[in-house]
Chains A and B, each alone.
Chain A
Amino acid sequence: MASIRLSVPATAKRGDVIELKALIQHPMESGYRRGSRGEAIPRNIITRFECRYDGETVFAADFHPGIAADPFLTFHTRATRSGPVLFRWTDQHGESWQETAMLTVT
């Protein structure tokens, strides 16, 4: 199972711009490399990332083979209301991993 790390402030003032960070351990194997015996290493990549803040998508990204292993994203959003911040990664086979942090807005 991939290890996920999130950085979401526990609290923020309404209207503040907050920084969100997310890292997932994943090989992001491009499909272009060959192993030590010359065999092709099959592609194995995450293709989609989404961040939902209280149900609303605030950031999303499509990943392609050029993205390095263990993708690490930093982005910003505006704190509007208290609620869950959900991060979800989906790979080329449709398998997905997700984790949620709670944000309290004062």
Chain B
Amino acid sequence: MTERVSDTNRRHVLAGLGALAVPFVDFGTQAFAQTRARIVIVGGGFGGATAARSLRRLLPNADITLVEPNPTYTACPFSNLVVGGTRDISAQAFTYAPLVQTGITIIHDRAIEIDASRKEITLGGGASLTYDRLILSPGIDFRWGAIEGYDQSAAKRAPHAWKAGDQTVLLRDQLAAMEDGGLVVMSVPAPPFRCPPGPYERASLIANYLKTRKPRSKLLILDHQDRFSKMPLFKEAWAENYPDHLEWRGASDDGRVSRFDAASLTLSTDFDDIRADVANVIPPQKAGEIADRAGVADATGWCPINATSFESTLQNDIHVIGDATIAAPMPKSAFSANLQAKICAIAVARLVSDMAPEPTILANTCYSFVTPDQAVSISGVYSNALGQFSSIEGAGGLTPVGAMSNVRSAEAAQAEAWFAAITGEAFG
């Protein structure tokens, strides 16, 4: 019992650390007031929207432009509840109107080319933009074909649902249309990928849907990993809640899907061909396409950065934040992207005001629902000193294994509060 209490306390301390970044944002405003720098942000997710708003506050006289093709943003966190049928997709949608009201220019177009030497962005509509500093928050794209046969057209048959929106709804509707007694198969890629605990949260909520609505059906998870985020907590929740509705097969137990046949919904591993009634293939990933065009992604497909300034180590004056970065041990999460955006905004404000960026402390918490009203979490605390990310040993922690259900209910309530806070911060 004492352990549980101390773990919960630890998380409150963490939440406090995360909040520290906000006062920082207002701290240097006066010193930054002179600059009329032109700053462009590409990508309007949790990273990009937060960066734009932070810079607006920091640099009242600068020209802040956000380039984002979609008029509304559909948030990934909590979208697994939509898949599981207990949350409406409309609760995931956010507009950019509050950003426009604060004087951020929003261009609803797609950046298709970036010339780092000329500091110029070409948009899909043909127009071009120049910048003094560019912040890229491009999120992820998929490595189509890395699983043989899984391409963009196959994704219409077997949704990945790893970018929220139509794909989320498609997976939900396929589950709803499936007859009782069906087999749902999920394929999990090798890391790194967006939201490390996400597949297992989704598995929990799909299993919950099957158990309550289609009890003769089952979910099989085929995994490229043998160990995963919050594994003991998920395994505990699965044994308790879904012993007959969820089976997990790890990499060493022939869990790696290498081939997919869209016509028959068959997933092939080294030893098996498994025919699914609903297939959710989460493909291997890389930084959003524009990172490649800008020359900020390396051979891994992800973007190396200086952790203190978030500036690309491959191109000058381009900063990268969020899922696209190589920021391990920080995970690819909305929480990370939001905090990285704030730190990056301060670094950019300092750089355009002829000051050097300063290191600070970052944190992350990932909540995962294991039932529609119970959640577990993992927290980490990180330093970005000397241009490198590192974990601060002894800080952070997990929901204890063997916790009473009221602990997990409290975690679910905290998750709700976190979602309200982070979407409020990013989108107003």
Q: A25 contacts B270, CB within 8 Å?
A: no
Interface size on B, residues (CB 8 A): 7
Interface string of B248-290 (1 = CB under 8 A from A): 0001111000000000000000111000000000000000000
A13 in contact (CB, < 8 A): no
Assembly CA distance A5 to B274 (angstroms): 15
Assembly CA distance A21 to B268 (angstroms): 14
Query: How many contacting A-B pairs (Cβ < 8 A)?
Result: 21
Chain B hits for A3, CB < 8 A: 253
Assembly CA distance A51 to B89 (angstroms): 54
Q: A21 contacts B253, CB within 8 Å?
A: no
Interface string of B88-118 (1 = CB under 8 A from A): 0000000000000000000000000000000
CB within 8 Å of B: which A58-84 residues: 69-70, 72
A23 in contact (CB, < 8 A): yes
A86 in contact (CB, < 8 A): no
Q: A21 contacts B252, CB within 8 Å?
A: no
A12 in contact (CB, < 8 A): no
Best-surrounded residue of A5, A69, A72 (most CB of chain B within 10 A): A5
Assembly CA distance A25 to B253 (angstroms): 7
Chain B hits for A7, CB < 8 A: 270-271
A6 in contact (CB, < 8 A): yes
Chain A hits for B252, CB < 8 A: 23, 25, 69-70
Which secondary structure dominates where chain A touches chain B?
A: strand
CB within 8 Å of B: which A1-46 residues: 3, 5-7, 21, 23, 25
Q: A72 contacts B270, CB within 8 Å?
A: yes
Chain A hits for B271, CB < 8 A: 5-7, 21, 23
Assembly CA distance A7 to B271 (angstroms): 6
Chain A hits for B254, CB < 8 A: 5, 23
Expressed in whole angstroms, the minimum distance between the Cβ of B286 and any Cβ of chain A is 26
Chain A hits for B270, CB < 8 A: 5, 7, 21, 23, 72
Expressed in whole angstroms, the minimum distance between the Cβ of A50 and any Cβ of chain B is 19
Chain B hits for A70, CB < 8 A: 251-252
Expressed in whole angstroms, the minimum distance between the Cβ of A75 and any Cβ of chain B is 14
Chain B hits for A72, CB < 8 A: 270
Assembly CA distance A21 to B256 (angstroms): 15
Known: A6-B271, A70-B252. 19 other contacts (CB 8 A): A3-B253, A5-B253, A5-B254, A5-B270, A5-B271, A5-B272, A7-B270, A7-B271, A21-B270, A21-B271, A23-B252, A23-B254, A23-B270, A23-B271, A25-B252, A25-B253, A69-B252, A70-B251, A72-B270
Q: List 12 A-B contacts (CB under 8 A).
A: A5-B253, A5-B254, A6-B271, A7-B270, A7-B271, A21-B271, A23-B254, A23-B270, A23-B271, A25-B252, A69-B252, A70-B251
Query: Which 6 A-B pairs have CB atoms at the shortest separation, nearest pair first?
Result: A70-B252, A5-B271, A5-B254, A7-B271, A25-B252, A3-B253
